[in-house]
A and B are shown apart, each in its own frame.
Chain A
């Protein structure tokens, strides 16, 4: 499903170039559960952004669903993100003025799906997330765990085959974190490819495949 070949990404911080991704090679099959760990600044978030088409490599190839995405235009990447990738961020990134239901609805709206069809698809998701009675609440009226569940709902509503989570439990207490992780793993069981970037060793060890990064390089790639 994913083939990353010789990818480099360099940022200029001050006048120092930082090699955030240094010759990354990675093959990921459909349905895998991968954790990416490593110290701060090791390039794990950059890897996730690159895999999510939020960032573009300076060099190398990134094949997703049979297409090399590097030469694509930004508009083509946007369409690709919409259809193939769901994101879960540490800080949720919900739109504060929209209710839980409307936040989940957003990708469907952007995809131009009719309102009746949107409703038909959102209701079961709300039920599965346990948010039925919270559907009309704004993010500020929800707990952290509920917000992250809304974000997961939004990430999965398009049935994207690839789910990327950047520190999904970073802002949550252990119980809410556990619920969120259970939800993500349940999605993985149903066939979604799940990649989680985390500092949390316990969370990292739950994944079937653990990647460790240091200074922009993959230094370990273990399967349980």
Chain B
């Protein structure tokens, strides 16, 4: 039998038994689709979490008021709890070795109005260094001026979304905004940077830290971000900061110094669990897909053992019979797997259009194993019954089921 005849015989088998072909293609495609789609969704979620936490630079240290650990000793009798981190505390950190820059942070919500439009929004009180720490850029105008931390100045930089909501297409730079009883002038508009650590910067209004302290009537900072000159200096600097703060706070260590890196380490466990969960989902859907494909193939080949017997009676060798069924199974497997892969990628593409923040992409290993397992199972379970039927005396295969 020539190769051309083998292929045309298999093509006839595929195209003239539409129902069976469609069922097998669907089984194959759903198998691949399930694996690729599920791992793609899972991996998208994992990547999203990962980027959220790595949006803070690795060379940034965070200083937070309060301390989680119980330090032993007497409970504070005077009723004086943890002390605030003041602007003076923050400024003093600049004197430490290896500190590149610091950005104090006061965060709150208040209503903002421009003309007759008004809106509740996130207010971030900070300084010029904040833009460098968070790698923020302005799309228009300029960033906050580099002024002493305790000096107020009625300037503000607003996020792109906020600008759109307050001003629409009108020019915002130079306009005045009202923040409860205070006023500030828009000097810059942030470039679109998306979200980071749950703070959507495009919704935020950034003002000098001293203004924010007046606005929210507070003495304490929400936190201080400290940029380090070199990553190697971080461990030494952390203890230096702790010493400095202990000294400034009358011998009590009532602040927490942490790095986003250590946050990341803490979240590593979560990410690991997520990764394992995705692998598990992928594995289970692979097994389900495999069983589905196995069933469809075994049934469709077994139903044709009479045909195998006939082909042998007409003089086909067992080898030729096996080749015929393998050719057919390969064509079906390749088409089914491709169909599944294309559908899965299309679904993931749709998901990305719907949620642009989440990178829904199937990991390459999932696509490769899905296609491999689908095609492999399809071939193996076409080959096994075909081999069994081909190995029998033709009379037995013929008796299995009377052909027409």
Contact = CB atoms under 8 A, between A and B. Distances in A.
A214 to B, nearest CB: 21
Contacts of B314: 81-82, 87, 106-107, 110, 154
Contacts of B2: 112
A87 B309 CA distance: 12
B311 interface: yes
A49 B395 contact: yes
Interface string B294-336: 0000000000001100111111111110000000000000000
Nearest to B390: A74
A172 to B, nearest CB: 14
A22 interface: no
Interface in B255-313: 306-307, 310-313
Q: Is the interface of B mostly helix, strand, loop or mixed?
A: helix
A109 B9 contact: yes
A95 B315 contact: no
Interface string A93-135: 1111110001000110111100000000000000000000000
B65 interface: no
Contact of A93 (B16, B310, B317, B391): B310
Interface in B380-404: 391, 393-395, 398, 402-404
A56 B402 contact: no
B316 A54 contact: no
A73 to B, nearest CB: 10
A81 B313 contact: yes
Interface residues of B, number: 29
B305 to A, nearest CB: 12
Contact of A107 (B315, B317, B395): B315
Contacts of B393: 54-56
B237 interface: no
B12 A93 contact: no
Contacts of B398: 54, 89, 93
Contacts of B64: none
Interface residues of A, number: 34
B77 interface: no
Contact of B5 (A87, A94, A109): A109
A52 interface: yes
Contacts of B171: none
B328 to A, nearest CB: 12
A110 B404 contact: no
B35 to A, nearest CB: 32
Contacts of A112: 1-2, 5
A216 interface: no
Interface in A17-67: 49, 52, 54-56
A8 to B, nearest CB: 16
A83 interface: yes
A79 B17 CA distance: 29
Interface string A76-87: 001101110001
A28 B403 CA distance: 30
A94 B403 contact: yes
Contact of B313 (A52, A92, A102, A139): A52
A147 B404 contact: yes
A78 B316 contact: yes
A196 B307 CA distance: 23
A186 interface: no
Nearest to B401: A91
A109 B5 CA distance: 7
B13 interface: yes
B323 to A, nearest CB: 12
Nearest to B403: A93
A96 B307 CA distance: 10
A125 B210 CA distance: 104
A168 to B, nearest CB: 15
B79 to A, nearest CB: 91
A95 B307 contact: yes
Contacts of A147: 404
Contacts of B13: 97
A165 to B, nearest CB: 13
Contacts of B319: 75
A65 to B, nearest CB: 14
Contacts of A78: 312, 315-318
A140 interface: yes
24 contacts: A52-B313, A54-B393, A54-B395, A56-B393, A75-B317, A78-B315, A78-B317, A79-B315, A79-B317, A82-B314, A89-B398, A93-B403, A94-B403, A95-B307, A95-B310, A97-B12, A106-B311, A109-B1, A110-B314, A110-B316, A111-B315, A112-B2, A139-B404, A140-B404
Given A74-B317, A111-B1, A154-B314, 13 more contacts: A55-B393, A75-B319, A78-B318, A79-B317, A93-B306, A93-B403, A94-B404, A98-B12, A106-B311, A109-B1, A110-B314, A110-B316, A112-B5
Interface of B: 1-2, 5, 9, 12-13, 16-17, 306-307, 310-320, 391, 393-395, 398, 402-404
- Shortest 7 CB-CB contacts between residues of A and residues of B: A82-B315, A54-B395, A91-B402, A97-B16, A93-B403, A78-B317, A49-B395
Interface of A: 49, 52, 54-56, 74-75, 78-79, 81-83, 87, 89, 91-98, 102, 106-107, 109-112, 139-140, 147, 154, 158
